[in-house]
A = this chain, B = another copy of it.
């Protein structure tokens, strides 16, 4: 397929105008074609068409929406080779990783298709009437309904799985909402390919083209216009704290405020408890090294803060970590901006009083354009407690060891944490019994607590929660990964004494979809009796 460099507005090409190009991170060279920045008219049209489409799509049966998701998945799988090539060129991410990302992307679309086969996700709830009561008790039924047109921002670090047809798009479509994607400017070609796959699937399923639009911009104005558009009812974003907070603030200031689900990364503290350290220091260090440097450390779940004892068993841990870091080959970062920020932040850390550079990889040869090297920093507990900026995320292949004297200090550290996506605990059964308070504290600080493993590698399942208290996300009540993310884009509606035929299928007496419902407080799949 030939790339056009144009936005895609409800199946039609967007307007021409000012252009920008993506860059090859490996060489720094610009990539063809140039991409046209979407116009104000493009934004308006995309919003209008989304409103039109919502009137149909929002009430389409779950099975019809499932068919669309499966068709998008099939179209993406069919495009795999071109997608991997283009994404590799635009992101420098290794091809095997991109191959698995294609599978993850189509896999999560299919997961939502499966969720839709069963309408139980709408949480149908029925309270039967009591005409004999004084006053008579009405028939009340509620379930989740779609929220309206949703704007999704593509992420730089997952050009497929958190981008045009990523998790937010899949869950928003699954819930019955039209989606307008603002593509990430670092991978416009990949975005256009995926956008075309979605457009084709919509046509193949005979659905309204306004269900999907894709807009390009190298700056912030298209995104800002979308978030402020009155037709838009929710926003999904994955990226930096600064950008996520800016979108949140814009949405909160609207005449009609709307929810913004910004997943803004985190430092993912790791607690290495004494028993686990004594039992397997080198293995834990090796696992953490792999996790810190995976994808050049450009994961929002990268462990950037490791609480480690000062006691003798830690020597081996530090030794393994130092050896691996100092032998790590240079990494190519996703964009020049990410690379500069990483270099600036690790430089600054090098000069910090109380922080030492415990290991660093050799510099890259000249000419590697967006390259960066791995590093390991170390600090003591009092310095860490006195410097809240040391728990801020540094996006890239680096981590900070915080050395503690006494495991009870871990509780103090945990209490002082802001919100993170994950916390990891390396612990024996004995450790867990000894420090129950640690788990209790972490529960209020993160979206996911990982035991004896690394936080990178986020499974797309039903129980996954990828989110957490601010600043990990702007809304700790939801996840951006896994089937529960469908709840982001839905709201409950109650029907009082509604004729059966006018009810959503999930609420009809006969239970034609065979869904799980709560009837008078009891969970059941039975039809409503005596109706």
Counting CB contacts under 8 A, is A125 at the interface? yes
| CB-based contact A142/B484 at 8 Å | yes
Given known contacts A432-B501, A464-B140, is B259 in contact with A252 (CB within 8 Å)?
no
Q: How large is the interface on A (under 10, 10 to 19, 20 to 34, 35 or more residues)?
A: 35 or more
User: How distant is A250 from chain B, measured CB to nearest CB, in Å?
Assistant: 11
Given known contacts A462-B127, A463-B127, A523-B523, is B493 in contact with A432 (CB within 8 Å)?
no
Residues 122-145 of chain A: 1 if any B CB is under 8 Å from the residue's CB, otherwise 0? 000111000000010110111001
Given known contacts A140-B459, A257-B252, is B502 in contact with A444 (CB within 8 Å)?
no
Residues of B within 8 Å of A518, CB to CB, are 462-463
Residues of B within 8 Å of A429, CB to CB, are 499
Given known contacts A450-B497, A496-B449, is B439 in contact with A120 (CB within 8 Å)?
no
A140 to B254, CA, bound (A): 38
Residues of B within 8 Å of A450, CB to CB, are 138, 496-497
Given known contacts A459-B140, A502-B432, is B494 in contact with A464 (CB within 8 Å)?
yes
Residues of B within 8 Å of A453, CB to CB, are 138, 496-497
- A142 is contacted by which of B451, B464, B471 (Cβ under 8 Å)? B464
User: How distant is A433 from chain B, measured CB to nearest CB, in Å?
Assistant: 8
A435 to B447, CA, bound (A): 45
| CB-based contact A477/B491 at 8 Å | yes
Counting CB contacts under 8 A, is A147 at the interface? yes
Residues 47-77 of chain A: 1 if any B CB is under 8 Å from the residue's CB, otherwise 0? 0000000110011000000000000000000
A461 to B520, CA, bound (A): 8
Residues of B within 8 Å of A448, CB to CB, are 493-496
Counting CB contacts under 8 A, is A440 at the interface? yes
Residues of B within 8 Å of A443, CB to CB, are 145, 493
CB-contacts of A449-493 with B (<8 A): 449-453, 457, 459, 461-465, 467, 469-471, 474-479, 483-484, 490-493
User: How distant is A292 from chain B, measured CB to nearest CB, in Å?
Assistant: 17
Residues 256-270 of chain A: 1 if any B CB is under 8 Å from the residue's CB, otherwise 0? 110100000000000
A470 to B234, CA, bound (A): 13
Counting CB contacts under 8 A, is A521 at the interface? yes
| CB-based contact A125/B470 at 8 Å | no
Residues of B within 8 Å of A474, CB to CB, are 257
| CB-based contact A439/B492 at 8 Å | no
| CB-based contact B249/A494 at 8 Å | no
Given known contacts A429-B499, A523-B523, is B492 in contact with A125 (CB within 8 Å)?
no
Residues of B within 8 Å of A471, CB to CB, are 256
Counting CB contacts under 8 A, is A20 at the interface? no
| CB-based contact A447/B499 at 8 Å | no
Counting CB contacts under 8 A, is A331 at the interface? no
Residues of B within 8 Å of A452, CB to CB, are 497
Counting CB contacts under 8 A, is A148 at the interface? yes
Counting CB contacts under 8 A, is A248 at the interface? yes
Counting CB contacts under 8 A, is A307 at the interface? no
Residues of B within 8 Å of A479, CB to CB, are 492, 494
Residues of B within 8 Å of A125, CB to CB, are 462-463, 484
Residues of B within 8 Å of A493, CB to CB, are 443, 446-449, 465
Counting CB contacts under 8 A, is A114 at the interface? yes
User: Can you list 8 residue pairs at the A/B interface with Cβ under 8 Å?
Assistant: A141-B463, A257-B470, A259-B477, A433-B501, A439-B502, A449-B495, A462-B520, A477-B490
Q: Closest 4 interchain pairs by CB?
A: A252-B252, A465-B494, A140-B463, A448-B494
Interface residues of A (CB under 8 A from B): 54-55, 58-59, 114, 120, 125-127, 135, 137-138, 140-142, 145, 147-148, 248-249, 252-253, 256-257, 259, 418-419, 429, 432-433, 436, 439-440, 443-444, 446-453, 457, 459, 461-465, 467, 469-471, 474-479, 483-484, 490-499, 501-502, 516, 518, 520-521, 523
Q: A453-B497, A483-B521 are in contact. List 18 more A-B contacts (CB 8 A).
A: A59-B440, A120-B523, A125-B463, A127-B459, A127-B461, A141-B463, A147-B477, A252-B253, A256-B470, A447-B492, A449-B498, A451-B498, A453-B496, A463-B494, A465-B492, A469-B491, A476-B491, A523-B523
